[in-house]
Amino acid sequence: MKFLALVLSSFLILPSSFSAPPNVIYLMADELGYHEPAFMGGKNIRTPNIDRMAAEGIVFKNMFAGSSVCAPTRCCFLTGKHSGHTSVRANGGGTPLRADEATIASILKPLGYATGGFGKWGNGGRDSTGVPEKHGFDTFLGYYDQVHAHTYYPPYLIQNSEEVPLKGNNGGSQGETYSHYVIHDAAMKFIRDHARQPFFAYLPYTPPHGNFDIPDSDPAWALYKDQPWPEDARRYAAMVTMIDRQVGEMLALLQGLGIDGNTLVFFSGDNGANDYFKSQDHPRGVHSGNKHPDTGIEYRGNKGTLYEGGVRIPFIARWPGKIAPGSVSEHLGYFPDVMPTVAEATGATAPVDIDGISILPTLLGKNAEQKQHAYLYWEINGWTAIRQGTWRAVRTKQNAKWELYDLAADPAESKDLAAAKPDVLAKLIALAEKAHEPIREGTFTRTDRHERDRRAKFGKQDDTTLEASPGGVKKKGAKKAGAMPVDGLLPNKDWKIVRASSENTGNGKYAANAIDGDPDTLWHSKFSGGTAPPPHELVIDLGSPHRIRGFVYLGRQDGGWNGAAKDVEFAISNSADAFGSPAVKSTLKKIKTPQTLDCAPTTGRYVLLRILSEHRPEGELASAAEIGVLGE
């Protein structure tokens, strides 16, 4: 008995007794389904190294993603907040974190940690407030924008906002340099280079998401190339096994460097399974991400929804000598819990306004000391979901009726109890309403490099006449846009947006579009997930002082009128933070042609546009295709 107590005590070590600050590695496999790895019951895909990691650590059966899609879930992970409080709730590809937001990396920097990221960022394109190097990362190599990340043969990757060319690549599915090999090699080098100091390695690896591409020469492909599945299903499986091999390489590296016992390693998916490769025989997909192959228990929904299947992920933690091997936990948690867990394990200070709670007691086997969530909350694209214990309420769109499920009796969410349990539902609805606050997103100073990265998926990065989306590229503008006056118009090449009261990043209506010289793009005040109220403001840096004698407003050039400015003011200053009385006030017309507003000649570097109202009766939105400044 004394021997058993001694063995158990070796796994119940308090953070205060750690001999050195632990290293932290977090590997997030993009789109990996809950039941796809073998340790979670999967039958098709070979994952021996991840299975070994699970056997040597702890498996969480109820640790959920922060959201059901890529960018918002990463924001929850990085900031420790649920999706009712985060700045990134759209999945357009480049919506940025705000400049003032703390991340796991930024709270570790004051402790002397080296911080590196390798893979898909998704929380701010280049020249935005959300780039990783502004949020605590010494280095980040991979993709900043999610459209860019859909190809494994891009012409270049991004490292600290600069392009890293990849030989022989032209986007799509063909090329000489497989990008994920480059990313993984860089991650391994980062670990080797910082083995003698504490480090945080964030590995949001892109496989198996995006184009289902893996070189035929990869050893993993040989395991699946003859399976009786569609080719994409075979390549998907090979990509997961490739990741598994790289997990094994990483764990071997830690052992070889002698730092295995002082490194806390996490492994997880990023959002719920997508039911890929469905057929009549496999209605939940060939690899059965949301249906247990043995028990038949399945989780409703998939990626993009907020039923259980949209947010269930595989989740492991391993820390030799600290986490007891073979542990399994039913603790109810989600991505916001990672930041406070890392903070407690390392001695870092997490922000006071986070929603996560540390799961370190569970990791160390001190379950009696583990705090519990009052509830878990999610929102995305009009969906809302809240879970308290085994009760779960879901609303599929803002004007839909709430549904209620008791997961203890109905894990598949098949029996709606909203009418039978109105008191339970009312309590959950009240909590959900308190959990939501209006979105405050970050901003871009310019968008040309961000748009270039999106076009790079298709090898069209140099063609500025095109705009990219996940599905393809198309010519900008379906019709000729209104021309801006030329006489006396200051060139806008060096202009930047210093501050925007809001922008609707979910559909690419960035503030920087108002000064990009392209009338076919536009800035729009925020309306997705809650409307930003007027007045709406843009502060523009002209790059140097100019003698200003007027302004030009060009309304949106598409078929819409939402946000068409009516009552406006322009002010001029030599400080971006202090503006006096407006240089001009005016009531604009509801027209598509440029409107010029003259003012008394005034010298200044910064311009403030304030839109007080629009031409719609509601008067609450603002938009602009282009803003011009007249002067010398």
Indicate if 396 and 338 belong to the same structural domain: no
Per-residue confidence (pLDDT) for residue 385, from 0 to 100: 98
Per-residue confidence (pLDDT) for residue 471, from 0 to 100: 73
Q: What is the pLDDT of residues 169-191, one digit of tens each?
A: 999 998 999 999 999 999 999 99
Contact 101, 441 (CB under 8 A): no
Indicate if 493 and 391 belong to the same structural domain: no
pLDDT over 50 (residue 5): no
pLDDT over 90 (residue 408): yes
Distance of CA 379 to the CA centre of its chain: 14
Please compute the mean of the pLDDT values over residues 594-617 and round it to a whole number. Answer: 94
Choose one of 378, 408, 425: the last residue of a domain. 378
Q: What's the length of the chain?
A: 632
Contact 560, 572 (CB under 8 A): no
pLDDT over 70 (residue 6): no
Q: What is the pLDDT of residues 398-407, one digit of tens each?
A: 889 999 999 9
Indicate if 95 and 124 belong to the same structural domain: yes
Per-residue confidence (pLDDT) for residue 105, from 0 to 100: 98
Indicate if 246 and 315 belong to the same structural domain: yes
Q: Is there a domain that residue 186 lies in?
A: yes
Q: Is there a domain that residue 77 lies in?
A: yes
Per-residue confidence (pLDDT) for residue 307, from 0 to 100: 98
Phi, psi of 585 (to 5 degrees): -120, 145
Query: Of the candidates 326, 284, 249, which has an alpha carbon nearest to the alpha carbon of residue 44?
Result: 284
Which of the four pLDDT bands, split at 50, 70 and 90, describes residue 300?
Answer: very high
Per-residue confidence (pLDDT) for residue 473, from 0 to 100: 81
pLDDT over 80 (residue 467): yes
Indicate if 373 and 413 belong to the same structural domain: no
Per-residue confidence (pLDDT) for residue 1, from 0 to 100: 37
Indicate if 264 and 166 belong to the same structural domain: yes
Q: What is the pLDDT of residues 445-464, one digit of tens each?
A: 999 999 999 999 999 999 99
* Higher-confidence position of 15 and 420: 420
Judge residue 401's burial from the number of C-beta atoms within 10 Å of its C-beta, 0-12 exposed, 13-18 middle, 19 or more buried: exposed
Contact 269, 314 (CB under 8 A): yes
Averaged pLDDT score across all residues of the chain: 93
Contact 25, 114 (CB under 8 A): no
% pLDDT > 90, the chain: 84
Which of 381-395, 460-474, 613-627 reaches the highest mean pLDDT? 381-395
Judge residue 349's burial from the number of C-beta atoms within 10 Å of its C-beta, 0-12 exposed, 13-18 middle, 19 or more buried: exposed
Query: What is the span of the domain harbouring residue 413?
Result: 382-435
- Taking the C-alpha atoms of residue 81 and residue 436, their distance in angstroms, rounded to an integer, is 11
Question: What order do you get walking across the sheet with 58-60 strand by strand?
Answer: 162-165, 156-159, 139-143, 114-120, 199-203, 23-29, 263-269, 315-318, 58-60, 327-329
Q: Is there a domain that residue 446 lies in?
A: no
Q: Is there a domain that residue 441 lies in?
A: no
Q: What is the pLDDT of residues 240-253, one digit of tens each?
A: 999 999 999 999 99
Choose one of 401, 418, 435: the last residue of a domain. 435
Q: Does the reported pTM lie above 0.85? A: no
CA distances from 480 to 463, 512, 546, 558, 559 (A): 18, 21, 31, 9, 12
Indicate if 183 and 315 belong to the same structural domain: yes
Indicate if 394 and 369 belong to the same structural domain: no
Contact 129, 149 (CB under 8 A): no
Please compute the mean of the pLDDT values over residues 399-428 and round it to a whole number. Answer: 97
CATH no. for residue 35? 3.40.720.10
Indicate if 417 and 365 belong to the same structural domain: no
CATH no. for residue 407? 3.30.1120.10
Per-residue confidence (pLDDT) for residue 120, from 0 to 100: 98
CATH no. for residue 573? 2.60.120.260
Indicate if 408 and 373 belong to the same structural domain: no
Q: Please report, to the nearest 10 degrees, the dihedral formed by the alpha carbons of residues 619, 620, 626, 632 taken in order.
A: 80
Query: Of the candidates 462, 452, 361, 367, which has an alpha carbon nearest to the alpha carbon of residue 127?
Result: 452
Which of the four pLDDT bands, split at 50, 70 and 90, describes residue 468?
Answer: confident
Phi, psi of 132 (to 5 degrees): -60, -35
Query: Of the candidates 239, 182, 242, which has an alpha carbon nearest to the alpha carbon of residue 208?
Result: 239
Please compute the mean of the pLDDT values over residues 108-121 and round it to a whole number. Answer: 98
Collapsing DSSP to helix, strand or coil, 597 comes out as strand
Q: Write the DSSP assignment of 205-267 as a string of letters.
A: --TTSSS----TTSHHHHHHTTSSS-HHHHHHHHHHHHHHHHHHHHHHHHHHTT-GGGEEEEE
Per-residue confidence (pLDDT) for residue 9, from 0 to 100: 39
Q: What is the pLDDT of residues 479-514, one digit of tens each?
A: 444 567 768 899 988 899 999 999 887 778 899 999
Contact 90, 142 (CB under 8 A): no
Q: Is there a domain that residue 593 lies in?
A: yes
Q: Is there a domain that residue 150 lies in?
A: yes
% pLDDT > 70, the chain: 95
The residue written with tokens 């009418």 in the block is: 419
Per-residue confidence (pLDDT) for residue 603, from 0 to 100: 96
- Taking the C-alpha atoms of residue 412 and residue 313, their distance in angstroms, rounded to an integer, is 16
Please compute the mean of the pLDDT values over residues 80-93 and round it to a whole number. Answer: 93
Instruction: State the SS3 of 277-339.
Output: CCCCCCCCCCCCCCECCCCCCECCCCCCCCCHHHHECCEEEECCCCCCCCEEECCCEEHHHHH
- Between 276-280, 541-545, 624-628, the lowest mean confidence (pLDDT) is in 276-280
Tell me the one-letter amino acid at 111. Answer: L
Which of the four pLDDT bands, split at 50, 70 and 90, describes residue 543?
Answer: very high
Per-residue confidence (pLDDT) for residue 518, from 0 to 100: 85
Please compute the mean of the pLDDT values over residues 454-477 and round it to a whole number. Answer: 87
Q: What is the pLDDT of residues 425-445, one digit of tens each?
A: 999 999 999 999 999 999 999
Per-residue confidence (pLDDT) for residue 482, from 0 to 100: 56
Per-residue confidence (pLDDT) for residue 4, from 0 to 100: 37
Indicate if 313 and 396 belong to the same structural domain: no
Q: Is there a domain that residue 537 lies in?
A: yes
What residues contact residue 303 under an 8 Å CB cut-off, 6+ apart? 31, 68, 69, 271, 272, 273, 274, 310
- Number of structural domains (the chain) is 3
Per-residue confidence (pLDDT) for residue 529, from 0 to 100: 66
Query: Of the candidates 256, 186, 294, 249, which has an alpha carbon nearest to the alpha carbon of residue 53?
Result: 249
Q: What is the pLDDT of residues 548-558, one digit of tens each?
A: 999 999 999 88
Q: Is there a domain that residue 473 lies in?
A: no
Choose one of 361, 378, 395: the last residue of a domain. 378
Please compute the mean of the pLDDT values over residues 227-251 and round it to a whole number. Answer: 97
- Taking the C-alpha atoms of residue 195 and residue 192, their distance in angstroms, rounded to an integer, is 5
Indicate if 275 and 407 belong to the same structural domain: no
- Between 29-43, 90-104, 477-491, the lowest mean confidence (pLDDT) is in 477-491
